[in-house]
Chain A
Amino acid sequence: MQTRKKYIFLTFLASWLLLFFFGGDQLRYFSFFSRRKAEARRNWPRWTDQSRLKSFADPEELQSDGDPSLPSPRERRAARLSIYKNSGCRMETCFDFSRCEKNGFKVFTYPRERDQPLSESYSKILASIERSRYYPPNPAEACLFILSIDTLDRDHLSGQYVRNVDEKIRGFPLWNGGRNHLIFNLYSGTWPNYTEDLGFDIGQAILAKASFYTENFRPGFDISIPLFSKDHPQRGGERGWLYQDSIPPKKKYLLVFKGKRYLTGIGSGTRNALHHIHNGKDIVSLTTCKHGKDWEKHKDMRCDKDNVDYEKFDYQELLHNSTFCIVPRGRRLGSFRFLEALQAACIPVLLSDGWELPFAEAIDWSKAAVVGNERLLLQIPSAVRCIHPERVLAFQQQTQFLWDAYFSSVDKIVHTTLEIIKDRLLPHRSRSRFLWNTLPGGLLALPNFSTHLGDFPFYYLQHGSSPSAKFTAFIRAVSPAGSLSQHILRLIQAVSGSQYCAQILVLWSCEKPPPPSGKWPQTTVPLTVIQGRGKLSDRFFPYVAIQTDAVLSLDEHTSLSTSEVDFAFMVWRSFPERIVGFPTRSHFWDPEQRRWGYTSKWTNEISIVLTAAAFYHRYYHSLFTEFLPAELRELVDGLSACEDILMNVLVAAVTKLPPIKVTQQKQHKETVSQQVGCKDGDAGSPPVGEQSPSPPRSPPAKVKGTVGTAGGRRFSQQQDCLNQLVDWFGYMPLVSSQLRLDPVLFKDQVSVLRKKYPRLEKP
């Protein structure tokens, strides 16, 4: 015991002496700056004559910055046009805006040639344009052109490399030096330099390319797109993997990487260093040398050990269980890893210097990724450790939003590219950065509708405003001409009685003209009749007359009381982005038929609110008419009661949330008529109140019972409609809800006099 003490004492003494003699210099350095702090910093001097200093420019010179000797603005513009061609292209020098003025933003794809093989990815790109609202039937209407030559893979060692592109392009009569053309590319250049040369002259075409290097990027002209695999879905796309918001982020790993280590050549600088940050605990950074044909030739000391470690971890497992993922450059700047991490809500830590990030013109990556510096790899662990848990949570959610809004399918990637270009055409009618980076994202926020945040249903909270205090009642009238039905008269009475009603619009869907104004009931609010075109989708046309944020959509046969309207409107004001209404339907997966089913039976869950009696934001009229392609509206016009479903599907696709059902005074007779014309007994619409036997179909697993039925044929049309819509969207956007919103004292045992909505409880 004594000896141990002695040794300890001696060690301390020795270390103290060592410190005294050798450590003095270091110590001096540390105390050096603490000493300097006490002392006056040598600041910029306060000159004794600083008030007499001259200004950097004469005020008059500043205010009149002209030079009469300069050529006229028009000549200067012309000069710029001739100087800044090709590699100096900008929209104003290389793009013909006039092509887009007359017909709007239309994108034409060249007809495919039979002998031209197309890669899977390029076919998807072309398909997503052809079935979109951008596609014109006639090339003369087009504003932007897309080649039918596959330019995705320009690595001339690749099997998909198309030869003699230059020659082929020159043969196109529309090419025009590449003006107003958009060229997609995923891979350019090849071993060993991977230069971004495409192997043909793109001229004045806009280049949408993956792995863009900032130096080659023509700002405001080219577009950087993400690298996606050939298996990337055409539409819909998988959802992100984040299904819970946990704080602190409860993941097994902090930071992970698993991938190739390049021993030589471009990109090896970073890939060769990644193993340094591996700590085997919360930071896992694994590299392997085993890739390529002759890896053993360059093999170094680490390789064998690394290869063993590498096999111990599964990439997917790491991706799922890590908060941050390193996304280093490969041979090229971008990698599949980027989208994989984004989907996995694994916050990308980018180590790819000079990479023009995908869609950076629109997307604010600082909210979803850590943009690291290849040279500072070793600082990354401490930097990410220092990111606050709240910020981590915000990052994770943003990755999911971005993934879902812009990246999860080829359609989204292509449409984002096109919308970015569209935004450049009319700068004053374009999306602010806020719109691009806030839910539901730029593709779903149409600047044609408005550029003011308060006009959309999504931004009230961030904007600090609230929806307008009144609504517009929008009634679709189908009664035969000449006289007004009792239904509609009662409905107008009830609706105009609401203190929140601003105006009533009647959509007259009959061919015969509406009754003269004298025949309409006298109301306290203005009543306007609009002549429809006899189409079902008319009801969601963005009529200029609708000036309030809220629209109360009604059918002539709907019966509602003023109390119901008032209460539902109060609820809508709390949920302005959703459909809030009375009669509901639900969807379910039918495992026997392997398709989606639609039911009007009473169920414990609802996912559709019929627009025969529902509040929603007027923006959805614009979205319905402008966002969806004409093809879908035609589908709706041809099927009975499909426009309801489409509207619900659309709103659910935008909000990812279910609609809201509110209390109904009495059950609607299931009478929602879907007549288009005005003749009684129009095909597809069963007589009002018909009680047909319930279709012989097994009820969905969760639905516990059946009361009330609907017409068989219409029912099957709705089923078809639903399945076609799911097919178009690429997934089932509808979300189910188990709740209904009632007034606070609904059916409570309190005096009726205390209740604000006593009428809702009447049997």
Chain B
Amino acid sequence: IMCASAKYNTRGPALIPRMKTKHRIYYITLFSIVLLGLIATGMFQFWPHSIESSNDWTVEKRSVHDVPVVKLPADSPIPERGDLSCRMHTCFDVYRCGFNPKNKIKVYIYSLKKYVDEYGTSVSNTISREYNELLTAISDSEFYTDDVNRACLFVPSIDVLNQNALRIKETAQALAQLSRWDRGTNHLLFNMLPGGPPDYNTALDVPRDRALLAGGGFSTWTYRQGYDVSIPVYSSLSGEVDLPERGPGPRRYFILSSQMALHPEYRAELEALQAENGESVLILDKCTNLSDGVPAVRKRCHKNQVFDYPQVLQESTFCVVLRGARLGQAVLSDVLQAGCVPVIIADSYILPFSEVLDWKRASVVIPEEKMPEMYSILQSVPQRQIEEMQRQARWFWEAYFRSMKAIALATLQIINDRIYPYAAISYEEWNDPPAVKWSSVSNPLFLPLIPPQSQGFTAIVLTYDRVESLFRVITEVSKVPSLSKLLVVWNNQNKNPPEDSLWPKIRVPLKVVRTAENKLSNRFFPYDEIETEAVLAIDDDIIMLTSDELQFGYEVWREFPDRLVGYPGRLHLWDHEMNKWKYESEWTNEVSMVLTGAAFYHKYFNYLYTYKMPGDIKNWVDAHMNCEDIAMNFLVANVTGKSVIKVTPRKKFKCPECTAIDGLSLDQTHMVERSECINKFASVFGTMPLKVVEHRADPVLYKDDFPEKLKSFPNIGSL
């Protein structure tokens, strides 16, 4: 079975061993014959089918009233009541879902029928507008299949959104006669208004055996955790009213209650709060004296004052959502839409999609007993958190409440994640609003680990043809105690590397990798030969770093393994005249980059550079033969959100016989090019990830009045 994309090439394509020529011709001929035969077979067997394919491309044009009628005999079977002990591993048939590379379940929808009893009286409304929208959304989604044999989940077209609009026994009979019912296994029912007088059950009363229930208004006693899905009660107002998102911040009212038909006891408690805290608490009710033609649902009143609903919700910081006859309330959806922070007062209520949504980030839950303390509880919420909750509330509405489609897809995704848990959507993807996803950083190396010193580092020298200088670098670097391996990346295709015997003899393994193309990105390839976490990238002309300096650099990297730790530092600046970024290599008090001509970093970043560099940066760098170091600085800063660490004092990185970094840096065109790189990368990343700092790392006793011979790293900063 194929994986989506787990494997990476560590080398270019492998060569196919050559066969002897005459055999090759023979085999090719044979292969062609077989192939032709196969094609012919296919044509012959399936010809008649393939020409009729376009005939079905017609959208059905039918009225809901034209759907077939099914008569249910009075004695047709009724499913068992819902089984409270059902869980995915007991009542769900996973074998139907299979293993597939996309990790998507297949959902089948039964075709619409009209059910009548023996006397021809209909069992329920054929289908409601909302349920039709929901089924349409499923049908348009990636989950849908029209092949009942390949389906993992079945959705009946029998509308049970509102229990009060149907006849319980007959609806159950209708479910039981579905073609694949099989005790409700793998069937999903959507219900928003469960229960009815007098006891208002918190789950659908229709007997449904093992069927999964996506219900609005579950309590902890009826909700089968990990099996059912808790969904919102859809508010039809959200389709009618457009409430533009309002910026977070304090609003006119602190607490607002907008629900109608609240129990008098609740109302009395709310009024007590109002009496105590004055105008910051607003309690609205149904309007009693509205003129005709004004829809009562769109108005709320306080004494004689009339307010527009749901607009008034936008005037309040907190909005109360109280238990009614049922636990699930449509007002929750309106409140979220208005970016008002819901205050949930409904003991044991399972909040919508609570399996994946972190409601603590968007709401305040207050036990019913604590209702009198509501004001002081809400006052203790920090202002900045209120603002975040307002944003979060609005995001929940936009993503999971705003339409029947959003509700349907979130429900299916939750079930999908249970069946393919290793491909499940993460907490962050479910909960972080787009703005947070954009601004937050999740460091891939988040665990605070100080790698053991014994592991050492691998030095990688990228070279083209400066053999003499290269050999000097190798000799110098080999003196560093923690060096564990040296890797020379030979980037010259026209010239062979020197004979083995000519290379300097050093105490650690030395490997030469020859590359297929002279590309700068070869320096950052995650070679299998790199067995340590730490990589020292060093140019073939950096011979001025002392062994103490390199060893100290490695020690600093161990303390900051998720950062670039390097020697020459550079800075980016905003050029106010040109209105763009500028590259700076002068003696500044700040650094934001280190050059990878001499820098330690984690091997992981080689992997990121090679496979995860955003946009066309990698190719761009290879084409321009410049700025691979700036690209690496951008990449690391962007993924970790952290600054670089420059180590040890400034040196002249110059050698007389070669054009080192500083030599180049003096070049005016070079500076212009480097500035261009910064501007280019900032636009690709969509942000400026580099962090400016004013510090560099020195040994603890650097320049202190202390005997040099007792210092761990005495030879630092010598010129």
Contact = CB atoms under 8 A, between A and B. Distances in A.
A56 B364 CA distance: 29
Given A43-B146, A384-B422, A742-B702, A62 B330 contact: yes
Contacts, number: 430
B552 A400 contact: no
Given A53-B64, A439-B446, A27 B330 contact: no
A44 B109 contact: yes
Interface in A726-763: 735, 737-748, 750, 754-757
B297 A66 contact: no
Contacts of B205: none
B584 interface: no
A24 B114 CA distance: 41
B237 A70 contact: no
B374 to A, nearest CB: 10
Contact of B448 (A45, A57, A571, A656): A656
B695 A214 contact: no
Contacts of B436: 463-464
A433 B441 contact: no
Nearest to B421: A371
A464 B440 contact: yes
Contacts of B263: 66, 70, 72-73
A394 B65 CA distance: 55
A743 B207 CA distance: 74
Interface in B156-172: 159, 161-162, 164-165
Contacts of A332: none
A42 B146 contact: yes
A455 B382 contact: yes
Contacts of A35: 46, 49-50, 53
Most A C-beta atoms less than 10 A away, residue of B54, B58, B146, B713: B146
Contacts of B1: 382
A53 B132 contact: yes
B60 A45 contact: yes
B56 A40 contact: yes
B64 A56 contact: no
A367 B360 contact: no
Interface in A433-465: 433-434, 437, 439, 450-452, 454-455, 461-464
Nearest to B331: A63
A430 interface: yes
A215 interface: yes
B700 A747 contact: no
Given A46-B59, A740-B700, A741-B696, A450 B382 contact: yes
Contacts of A393: 444, 604
Given A455-B382, A604-B712, A740-B698, A385 B6 contact: yes
Interface string B175-200: 00000000000000000110001101
A245 interface: yes
B232 to A, nearest CB: 12
Interface in B431-487: 431, 436, 438-452, 455
A84 B706 CA distance: 74
A110 interface: no
Contacts of B360: 427, 430-433, 451
Interface stretch (A12-20, A312-320, A492-500, A636-644): A12-20
A464 B432 CA distance: 12
A451 B62 contact: no
A66 B262 contact: yes
Most A C-beta atoms less than 10 A away, residue of B94, B422, B440, B559: B422
A56 B589 contact: no
Nearest to B387: A452
Contacts of A88: 221
A88 B559 CA distance: 52
A364 interface: yes
A194 interface: no
Contact of B325 (A70, A375, A383): A70
A549 B369 CA distance: 36
B698 A574 contact: no
Interface string A45-86: 111111001111101101111110110111001001000100
A737 to B, nearest CB: 6
Contact of B700 (A12, A242, A388, A739): A739
Given A451-B381, A741-B695, A53 B128 contact: yes
A667 B700 CA distance: 13
A374 B235 CA distance: 40
B18 to A, nearest CB: 19
Contact of A428 (B46, B63, B109, B377): B377
A656 B446 CA distance: 12
Contacts of A383: 99, 422
A464 B441 contact: yes
A655 interface: yes
B710 interface: yes
Interface residues of B, number: 182
A507 B698 CA distance: 34
Contacts of A529: none
A390 B444 contact: yes
Contact of A20 (B41, B220, B691): B41
B247 interface: no
B112 interface: yes
B135 interface: yes
A24 to B, nearest CB: 6
Contact of A739 (B441, B559, B587): B559
Contacts of B603: 246-247
A432 B392 CA distance: 13
Interface stretch (B272-280, B575-583, B642-650): B642-650
B201 to A, nearest CB: 13
A434 B129 CA distance: 38
A462 B439 CA distance: 8
Contacts of A397: 445-447
Interface stretch (B137-145, B499-507, B515-523): B137-145
Contacts of A747: 649, 703, 717
Contact of B261 (A48, A64, A605): A64
B63 A49 contact: yes
A169 to B, nearest CB: 26
A43 B447 CA distance: 48
Interface in B501-556: 526, 531, 533, 552, 555-556
Nearest to B324: A65
A353 B90 CA distance: 9
Contacts of B556: 738-739
B233 interface: yes
B422 to A, nearest CB: 5
A354 interface: yes
Given A44-B109, A246-B533, A738 B555 contact: yes
B440 A451 contact: no
A382 B691 CA distance: 41
Contact of B4 (A9, A386, A432): A386
A41 B151 CA distance: 14
Interface in B106-156: 109, 112, 125, 127-132, 135-136, 138-140, 144, 146-147
A606 interface: yes
Interface stretch (B30-38, B393-401, B657-665): B30-38
25 contacts: A8-B30, A20-B37, A28-B45, A28-B46, A33-B147, A43-B144, A66-B324, A72-B265, A92-B347, A370-B422, A376-B94, A451-B381, A455-B382, A464-B441, A604-B700, A657-B450, A657-B559, A705-B707, A740-B698, A741-B698, A743-B694, A746-B696, A747-B717, A756-B694, A757-B589
Interface of A: 5, 8-9, 12, 16, 19-20, 24, 27-28, 31, 33, 35-36, 38-50, 53-57, 59-60, 62-67, 69-70, 72-74, 77, 80, 84, 88, 90, 92, 97, 214-215, 219-220, 242-248, 250, 353-354, 364, 366-367, 370-376, 379, 382-390, 393-394, 397, 400-401, 427-434, 437, 439, 450-452, 454-455, 461-464, 567, 570-571, 574, 584, 602-606, 655-658, 661-662, 667, 704-705, 707, 735, 737-748, 750, 754-757
